[in-house]
Structure 1
Amino acid sequence: MNSLPLFIEWDPSPVLFHLGSIPIKYYGLFWAIGIALGYYVVRYQYRDKKISEKIFEPLFIYCFIGILLGARLGHCLFYDPEYYLANPLEIFLPIKFLDGGGWKFVGYAGLASHGGTLGLIVALWMYCRKTKMNYMDVLDMIAVATPITACWIRLANLMNSEIIGMPTDVPWAFVFSSVDNLPRHPGQLYEALAYLLLFFIMLYLYKKYDSKLHRGFYFGFCLVYIFTFRFFIEFIKEDQVDFEAGMALNMGQWLSIPFIIIGLISIFYGKKLDQMQPKRVQK
């Protein structure tokens, strides 16, 4: 008697519904959910620290623009620079120009987490220049919220059947039918669960040890955890672009190394970070 395979057939439509001719995709929706949840976590911290609502209000705009612009530029310039430098409007517009003329709406399907992280760091520096908030304090608060946003972004990738894992025979393997019929590691789900765990760890640390942890700890811990996990999980994921074939380390791994180093510096040089300008509390 043949036993039935335990592999999970995975072929959801990437489109949840249509608004007229515009498709509302899980990808964009899950990104929005992730950013919204991150927003509420940071807002809670501002209120908990009794920082003025007026200081908090512009933060969302800075973060949203920084993440989206950074993630988009990161994908286009890190993974497919030849195409996008030849078609620069497609970097910023959610459309694809057709060979025979005209265009079609495709959404921002190409977004890179490394670029999003870098864009966020730059955007927060600009925010702190405007509000006179301490830069490391803001980075720490954002770091507490980042994992829940990252979790939803990886779930968005799962719904899009993208960033797939390598073939495997583990019983929880996913068969991404829109790609091929091979059972594969659900790398997106692994990352989503890892980031969800990090989120609960961050909440626990904030609730129990916030007054004891040095400035920059949350930021450093977040970077080291996320990008170390990202570095190792790349070994069981398919290459995202053709030029990665044959590379000892792929683009995602090379881009993770600087973030891990920055994170370690933030964790182990906390005393120097604590000597930066004192915390600014707006009442």
Structure 2
Amino acid sequence: MNTENFIVWDFDPVLVNIPEITFPFPISIWGLVIAAALIYFGWSKIKPPSQKGEPAEPEKWKAAGLVIGAFIVGQLPFLFLDSPSINSFGPLEPRWYGLMFAMAFMSGYFIGLKMYRDAGRSQEELDRLLIYVIVATVIGARLGHVFFYNPEYFLRNIHLIPQVWTGGLASHGAAIGIIIAMYLYAKRTANTSFMWVADRVVPGVAIGGMFIRFGNFFNSEIVGIPTELPWAIIFKNSAHLTEAERLIPRHPSMLYEAFLCIIVLAILWVIYKKYKANPPEGSLFGTFLITLFTGRFLIEFTKATQADFLESAMFDMGQLLSIPFVLIGIWILWKKVNWKQ
């Protein structure tokens, strides 16, 4: 195969290199714990009373003074007492994937904020939902990777499961985690149903999925099977391929999924605007499940197998996991959505 006519992707996934920083004096870990406690309890003392139901923030100089003062007070005792301490920081190598992950939550938050304001809801409610979603996304995505794609390895090495920074996140696991988070949030929020919450979360999930898949592209991961299509890409720096495999042009499957997320977001926004920011409960959620996971099912045909134990199966793990989501979406639109609302 002549590879000269294909795109070669050898992008460095590291965003910037930060060298090691040595502190002028050791920083006590227990001192940091004390400082955090002082800030937590001191914040209410410097925070002014709310005005007309709107939360008030303390003046910047008071907030800065509290943080600096708490740090100094926390460290003073350990000038004389023994304590585990930190002498240096770094070196660090922030990656493009991390930036894309942060952009995923930021973009999703701003879309959610618009939808919450359209519904006359407060930003504080959305902030609480954001915490639920962030925690559920990370835990769900990690456990999804552990149990869906490599259970035998991780059950032999349980101590590696929490090491999210080593890589290994599954979008289907994240989807399950987010659904559980939305259910718990709805139960703990007055006058809020699960479907109402889900309709206002999924547009943010769609745009977040786009950013995360671009992050996968920077990392040269989730690569596709070999192809000679004109837009095939040679992933020269992929850590998931052998040296010989890195010379073969492949489907950019992660980019297919990124563009799929853009299409899904456009469809959801058209429905949202058609019903003047008040769509029938469940309509966006059901549409999201059907369109996203039908697309995922089809795109999986272009991907290299990620679950080794399914190499000889008709469908891979991503396709098997997509089918239930599509069926649930069809059931929601058929049985749960009141289109005459």
- Whether TM-score is above 0.5 comes out as yes
Query: Please, which moves more after superposition, 265-274 or 156-165?
Result: 265-274
Does the 8 A contact of 2:137 with 2:178 survive in 1?
yes
TM superposition score normalised by structure 1: 0.87
Which of residues 223, 236, 245 in structure 2 aligns to 1:164?
A: 223
> Equivalent residue for 2:177?
119
Query: Please, which moves more after superposition, 202-211 or 58-67?
Result: 202-211
Does the 8 A contact of 1:72 with 1:110 survive in 2?
yes
Which of residues 249, 253, 273 in structure 2 aligns to 1:183?
A: 249
TM superposition score normalised by structure 2: 0.72
Q: Does the residue aligned with 1:232 lie in a helix, a strand or coil?
A: helix
Question: Matches of 1:121 and 1:271 in 2, distance apart?
Answer: 18
For the structure 1 residues 240 and 4, does the alpha-carbon distance in structure 2 shift closer, same or farther, using more than 3 Å as the test? Answer: closer
For the structure 1 residues 263 and 210, does the alpha-carbon distance in structure 2 shift closer, same or farther, using more than 3 Å as the test? Answer: farther
Deviation at 1:159, TM superposition (A): 1.1
Deviation at 1:208, TM superposition (A): 2.4
> Equivalent residue for 1:219?
285
Structure 1 letter corresponding to 2:134 = F
For the structure 1 residues 184 and 271, does the alpha-carbon distance in structure 2 shift closer, same or farther, using more than 3 Å as the test? Answer: closer
Query: Please, which moves more after superposition, 240-249 or 134-143?
Result: 240-249
> Equivalent residue for 1:255?
321
> Equivalent residue for 2:7?
8
Measured against aligned partners, the alpha-carbon deviations of 1:231-280 in whole angstroms (never above 9, x if no partner) come to 111111110132121110111111111111111111112346999xxxxx
Structure 2 letter corresponding to 1:56 = L
Does the 8 A contact of 2:290 with 2:326 survive in 1?
yes
Where structure 1 has 5 or more consecutive residues not aligned to the other structure, the ranges are: 95-106, 276-283
Which of residues 54, 68, 85 in structure 1 aligns to 2:138?
A: 68
Deviation at 1:198, TM superposition (A): 1.6
Q: Percent identity between the aligned chains?
A: 39
Which of residues 275, 285, 289 in structure 2 aligns to 1:209?
A: 275
Question: Matches of 2:310 and 2:201 in 1, distance apart?
Answer: 32
> Equivalent residue for 1:47?
117
Deviation at 1:108, TM superposition (A): 4.6
Does the 8 A contact of 1:215 with 1:274 survive in 2?
no
Q: Does the residue aligned with 1:131 lie in a helix, a strand or coil?
A: coil
Query: Please, which moves more after superposition, 67-76 or 44-53?
Result: 44-53
> Equivalent residue for 1:145?
204
Query: Please, which moves more after superposition, 11-20 or 143-152?
Result: 11-20
Larger C-alpha radius of gyration, 1 or 2?
Answer: 2
Aligned-CA RMSD value: 2.0
Does the 8 A contact of 1:72 with 1:108 survive in 2?
no
